Amino acid sequence: MMIFVDADASPVNNIVIEEAQKEGLPVKLVKSINHFSHDEKQPGVETIYVDAGADAADYRITGLVARGDIVITQDYGLASLCLAKGCYVLHHKGFAYTADNIDRLLTMRHAGAKARRAGYKTKGPKALTDEDKNTFRRLLVQTIKRADQREE
């Protein structure tokens, strides 16, 4: 089992790394080359840089993940693809994508895009709060335990 993070805009990279290191799980941060950094490497963490194309990170993650891996993303399309591959998929706001909610989320995304194309202004996401981060951390820990039990 590995943890993959759609890391370009992820505000929870440090939480993911902390919790993964506690469990000895490898983390793959997938980022656009536009976000290249000389940050010090951390044990168990690999940064994978992809082209600057709109969905390059999504395509790379989709190609790398396997059943039972954990994926962190706020992209509903990527979440849908990873769910289809048998992954656990989490949003940084602290909810899991599931077969029960992904269609609704994709429909909402489509409606928002359609409204923007028609000239309507839509609100962006709310700022991430400390409560959101704590909720995400709890969900990640629970998901790691569940995924670990499934592997046994």
Partners of 89 in the β-ladder? 71, 97
* CA separation for the pair 92, 99 (Å, rounded): 18
| Residue in 25, 59, 62 with CA at minimum distance from that of residue 45 | 25
Q: How confident is the model at residue 20 (pLDDT cuts 50, 70, 90)?
A: very high
CA distances from 106 to 48, 74, 96 (A): 27, 12, 14
Supply the pLDDT for residue 138: 97
pLDDT in tens, 25-57: 999 999 988 777 777 788 899 999 999 877 899
Supply the pLDDT for residue 36: 78
- Residue with tokens 């409204």, as numbered in its chain: 115
pLDDT in tens, 49-70: 999 877 899 999 999 999 999 9
pTM listed for this prediction:
0.86
pLDDT in tens, 135-149: 999 999 999 999 888
Pick the CATH number of 3-151 from 3.90.1530, 3.40.50, 3.10.50, 1.20.120: 3.40.50
The full set of domain ranges for the chain reads 3-151
Q: How confident is the model at residue 109 (pLDDT cuts 50, 70, 90)?
A: low
Coil, helix or strand for 67?
coil
DSSP type of residue 26? -
One-letter identity of residue 61:
I
Query: Which of 42-51, 99-108, 124-133 bottoms out in mean pLDDT, i.e. has the lowest?
Result: 99-108
